[in-house]
Structure 1
Amino acid sequence: MKIGVLAVQGAFIEHRKMLESLGAECVEIRQKADLEGIQGIVLPGGESTVQGKLLHKLDMFGKIQTCIREGLPVLATCAGMILLAQTLYNDPVTHLATLPVTVRRNAYGRQLGSFITDQPVKGIGEFPMVFIRAPYIESVDDSDVEVLATVDDHIVAVRYGNQLGLSFHPEMTEDTRIHEFFLKMIQ
């Protein structure tokens, strides 16, 4: 199984290492040609505005958006989830807009507002959630969006068909269950 990990900016190496530890072949996506033959893609945390601009500059935006719309499984964490969101609560600019949710950027505050909590994730159980300048989902805009986890009544994980969007960073833990769940989505 070949997984592409967007590697233009942000915390991509941790995703790659975790997926490789589970037996997946990973390719770092740095240019359009790197998208060929992948069976899933990870959109990592980082800075969503920078990532969005680089996707356009590197001519990957349209290809990634089309692949996701056509069913390519995607795991999007933090900034990656912002890239997927159809609406941003506090920002008029959207990016890939394939996930019918409204996301509030930096909802938990700045770097000093970062925290870790153990909370249940549907189908997985208690999971250590690492939030770093994290967004959360303000609302779901389609009844087919499945809420997988909440923290303090805020939605922090959803699944919509082939898309898995998380406010937190599972790659920053030793717990591989989220990545295992993603790989099962591909199979």
Structure 2
Amino acid sequence: MAVGVLALQGSYNEHIAALRRIGVKGIEIRKPEQLRGVDSLIIPGGESTTMAKLAELHNLFPALREFVGSGKPVWGTCAGLIFLANKAIGQKTGGQDLIGGLDCTVHRNFFGSQLQSFEMELSVPKLAEKEGGTSTCRGVFIRAPAILEVGPNVEVIADCPVSSDQLKVAIPASDGQQEREFTNNRVIVAIKQGNLLATAFHPELTSDSRWHRYFLGMVEEAKEEATPSAVMVKYDLYGDGNDRAKKPHDLPIFE
């Protein structure tokens, strides 16, 4: 199995290393024609405005939208989440192009500046049910976005509390609704909708491989639906219970 990783800017090397640790090849994607050689795609974290400008420069947006619309699995982390959202607020002047596909509203820089980056244990029972391990995972939030609203067909996988000093956010009016204030005490940070997965944090910067294995499960399911007779590889999260300790990490990660 090979997974495409959009390699315009950001943490694409870390995603490729995370895939390598579980025996999967990551292919760097920089041109539209390269998308034809992969059945799935990871859009990494980074600076979303810069990534959008580079994607526009390389005429990638039409191909990326076609890829998402084809039903092939796509996972966006941090900036990748912003790319996949149907609606993004808190953008820089002039905004940026989005790929779309996820029925959600994302705040581009909800948690603040680079100095407000943080780590947090997240409750992820659905991930644990699917991939084993503990019911929590380490979330690394680096100048991170947050999901303020989701549509009825979106599955919420993880959320996190909003601190008391977090500024209230105005959600612009749309579809005949009035502008309103987001006042919830929790925000959503991981969702799944059909062939799309998105996380506001960076699983590729931790030693927990379950998010990448979860995405590979989506790839296998998509292939199974396309070719029901195919034999799919099944992954065991921890093998003998110590597989992560046996595999050297070739890039720095947060334990």
* Range into which the TM-score falls when normalised by the shorter chain: over 0.9
Q: Give distance in 2, aligned partners of 1:27 and 1:97.
A: 22
Matched, 1:116 2:101: no
Pick aligned residue for 2:102 from 96, 99, 102: 99
Helix, strand or coil at the partner of 1:19: helix
Q: Give distance in 1, aligned partners of 2:39 and 2:23.
A: 14
CA contact (8 A) 2:88 2:107 kept: yes
How far does the alpha carbon of each residue in 1:59-113 deviate from its partner, in whole angstroms, 9 at most, with x for none? 2111111111111101110000001111112235441011111000111110111
The residue aligned with 1:143 is: 152
Going by fraction, where is strand more abundant, 1 or 2?
Answer: 1
The residue aligned with 1:45 is: 45
Runs of at least 4 residues of structure 1 off by over 4 A? none
Pick aligned residue for 1:127 from 134, 137, 154: 137
In structure 1, stretches of 5+ residues that fail to align are none
How far does the alpha carbon of each residue in 1:106-145 deviate from its partner, in whole angstroms, 9 at most, with x for none? 11110111111111122322000000000000111x2110
In structure 2, stretches of 5+ residues that fail to align are 129-134, 162-185, 221-255
Q: Give distance in 2, aligned partners of 1:52 and 1:69.
A: 19
CA contact (8 A) 2:86 2:104 kept: yes
CA contact (8 A) 2:127 2:210 kept: no
Select the structure of larger CA radius of gyration.
Answer: 2
Q: Which AA in structure 1 matches 2:202?
A: H
Identity of matched residues, %: 41
RMSD of equivalent CA atoms: 1.1
Q: Give distance in 1, aligned partners of 2:110 and 2:116.
A: 9
TM-score by length of 2: 0.71
User: In the TM superposition, what is the alpha-carbon distance from 1:23 to its structure 2 partner?
Assistant: 1.7
Matched, 1:67 2:67: yes
Helix, strand or coil at the partner of 2:23: coil
Q: Give distance in 1, aligned partners of 2:6 and 2:89.
A: 24
Q: Give distance in 2, aligned partners of 1:64 and 1:83.
A: 10
